[in-house]
Amino acid sequence: MQHNTKNYDYLIVGAGPFGAIFAHEAAARGKRSLIIERRSHLGGNMHTHKENGINVHDYGAHIFHTDNKPVWDYVNQFTEFNGYINQVVANYKGDLYNLPFNMNTFYQMWGVKTPAEAQAKIAEQREAAGITRTPKNLEEQAISLIGTDIYEKLIKGYTEKQWGRKATELPSFIIRRLPTRFTFDNNYFNHRYQGVPVDGYTAIFDKMLDSDLIDVQLDTDFFDDKATYLAEFPRIVYTGMIDQFFDYKFGELEYRSVRFESEVLPTDNAQGNAVINYTDAETPYTRVMEWRHFDQKGDDNVSILTREYPQDWDRSKEAYYPVNDEKNSTLFKQYRAEAKQLDKVIMGGRLGNYQYYDMDQVFHAALVAVEKEFGQA
C-alpha cells in the first residue's frame, strides 16, 4: 500500500506535542506533513476531553509550568491559560499534609513554627540516619533534603508505587524535581509561568494542526508497514519508543505504565482539592484528581474523580515514561548511537529520546529540532 500519496516532505509518527509542533512549524515553512497516530486522538498524553462541562485530562493531571519565556509565549499562541496554581495535598493513612515540602508541611509533621526549627529537625534526622556522603540514591537524597519522618510518610510509599522499585534503587535526581521551601508556600512548582488551558489541551492541537499542509491519520500504526513508510518518505520524525524502532535489537528498555479509573459523583466538590496524593504503600493508587478544581468549570452538582494506578509496563500496555536508572541509561546510549547513524530520521519526545520530560521540555526540544532542521525562523 502506498502512503506518500501527496508528495509529503515529512512523515511524523505520533501526534503528541513534539510531532505536532514539528508539523506546525514545517507547514509555516511551506512543507507538507503526514502525521500518523496509533491512538484514536491527537495530543498524546496531553489529550483532554469535555464531560459534564468538565475538562478531563485523560492521562493524569497535566499542569503546564515553565521558566522558559519563549516556550510560554509559543504555547500561548494556541490557547489561553487560567493561572491555576497546583497545591497538592498528601494523605498518609488519613493524616493530611501540604505539598511540596514547606513550612506548612513541617508544622503539620513536627509542630515547628520557624525555618530555623525546621532546619534543625531535618539536620538532626539526617545525622541520625548517617547521611554524610553525597546521596547515591533517592532514599539518601530525600533524607538529606527533608529528614526521615517526611521521607517515610510522604515519599517512600508513593515513589515506590510510582516507579515499581525500591527507593534505594532509584536515582537521586527524581526527588530533586520537587521544591523544598522554608516558607509557608504550597505552590507545587517554582516556575514563573504556569496554568491549565481554559479549553483543555486538545484544543491546542486542533489549532496547531489546522493547515492544508498537514494531514492526520488516527488509528494508524507505523509498525504495521514500517518498511514502506521508511522507503516512501524523504524525512521521518519518530516519537515512539526508540527501542521498538530498532526491533529491540539490544534488548527492551524499561518504561512505567499507568491505568486510570474514573467515577462521576453527584456533587460540586468531592475532595476539596484538585490533586490528593496517597503516600502510604498500601493504597494501590498514587493520587486522585478532581478535574473541576483545575478550572472551576462543570455542570451543576456533578464532579469527576480519577484514580491513578501505576503499573509495570509490557508490550501490551501504553508506555508513559522511561525508567532512567543506570542499566536503562546504558542501554539507551546504544540505541541513541544507532539512531545517529540514520540520515532521514529525527527522534523526539519522551519515548524517542528516553527522557522524563515535563511538557515545557518537550516543547523546547521540538523547537530546537525545528531550528536544527530549518535554521532560525
What are the pLDDT digits (tens) for 206-224? 999 999 999 999 999 999 9
- Asked, for residue 244, whether it belongs to a domain, the answer is yes
Q: What distance in Å separates the CA atoms of residue 28 and residue 233, rounded to the nearest whole number? A: 19
- Asked, for residue 5, whether it belongs to a domain, the answer is no
- Asked, for residue 318, whether it belongs to a domain, the answer is no
What is the pLDDT, as a whole number, of residue 171?
Answer: 85
- Asked, for residue 317, whether it belongs to a domain, the answer is no
N residues, the chain = 377
Question: Taking 80 as the threshold, does the pLDDT of residue 95 lie above it?
Answer: yes
Question: Taking 80 as the threshold, does the pLDDT of residue 176 lie above it?
Answer: no
What is the pLDDT, as a whole number, of residue 324?
Answer: 81
Q: Are residues 181 and 100 in the same domain?
A: yes
- Asked, for residue 273, whether it belongs to a domain, the answer is yes
Q: What is the pLDDT of residues 106-125, one digit of tens each?
A: 999 999 999 999 999 999 99
Cβ atoms 219, 39 nearer than 8 A: yes
Q: Are residues 126 and 173 in the same domain?
A: yes
Q: Are residues 135 and 211 in the same domain?
A: no
Question: Taking 90 as the threshold, does the pLDDT of residue 349 lie above it?
Answer: yes
Q: Are residues 95 and 136 in the same domain?
A: yes
pLDDT category of residue 128 using cuts at 50, 70 and 90? very high
Residue 323 grid cell: 525508567
Q: What is the pLDDT of residues 242-264, one digit of tens each?
A: 999 999 999 999 999 999 999 99
Q: Which domain holds residue 156?
A: 89-187
What is the pLDDT, as a whole number, of residue 206?
Answer: 98
Q: Are residues 247 and 131 in the same domain?
A: no
Question: Taking 90 as the threshold, does the pLDDT of residue 237 lie above it?
Answer: yes
> Mean per-residue pLDDT for 147-168?
95
Cβ atoms 153, 279 nearer than 8 A: yes
Catalytically active residues are 177, 181, 256, 287, 308, 356, 358
Q: What distance in Å separates the CA atoms of residue 176 and residue 73, rounded to the nearest whole number? A: 26
Q: Are residues 81 and 208 in the same domain?
A: yes
Q: What distance in Å separates the CA atoms of residue 75 and residue 201, rounded to the nearest whole number? A: 10
What DSSP assignment string belongs to 42-107? SSGGG-EEEETTEEEETTS---EEES-HHHHHHHTTS--B-------EEEETTEEEESSBSHHHHH
pLDDT mean across residues, the chain? 95
> Mean per-residue pLDDT for 165-169?
92
Nearest C-alpha neighbor of 110 from the set 292, 186, 119, 41: 119
Q: Are residues 14 and 63 in the same domain?
A: yes
- Asked, for residue 210, whether it belongs to a domain, the answer is yes
What is the pLDDT, as a whole number, of residue 63?
Answer: 97
Q: What distance in Å separates the CA atoms of residue 254 and residue 252, rounded to the nearest whole number? A: 6
Nearest C-alpha neighbor of 9 from the set 211, 267, 308, 163: 211
DSSP state of 207: H
> Mean per-residue pLDDT for 190-195?
95
- Count CB-CB contacts under 10 A for residue 133: 8
Q: What distance in Å separates the CA atoms of residue 55 and residue 198, rounded to the nearest whole number? A: 9
Q: What angle do CA 289, 290, 295 make, to 5 degrees?
A: 115
> Mean per-residue pLDDT for 352-362?
95
Looking at the 3D structure of the chain, how many domains does it have?
A: 3
- Asked, for residue 275, whether it belongs to a domain, the answer is yes
Q: Are residues 111 and 226 in the same domain?
A: no
Q: Are residues 232 and 344 in the same domain?
A: yes
Q: Are residues 103 and 175 in the same domain?
A: yes
Q: Are residues 136 and 235 in the same domain?
A: no
What is the pLDDT, as a whole number, of residue 177?
Answer: 73
Q: What is the CATH classification number for the domain harbouring 236?
A: 3.40.50.720
Domain final residue pick, 187, 208, 240: 187
Q: Are residues 49 and 109 in the same domain?
A: no
Question: Taking 80 as the threshold, does the pLDDT of residue 327 lie above it?
Answer: yes
What is the pLDDT, as a whole number, of residue 100?
Answer: 93
Question: Taking 60 as the threshold, does the pLDDT of residue 377 lie above it?
Answer: no
Question: Taking 90 as the threshold, does the pLDDT of residue 178 lie above it?
Answer: no
Q: What distance in Å separates the CA atoms of residue 276 and residue 161, rounded to the nearest whole number? A: 15
> Mean per-residue pLDDT for 21-40?
98
- Asked, for residue 288, whether it belongs to a domain, the answer is yes
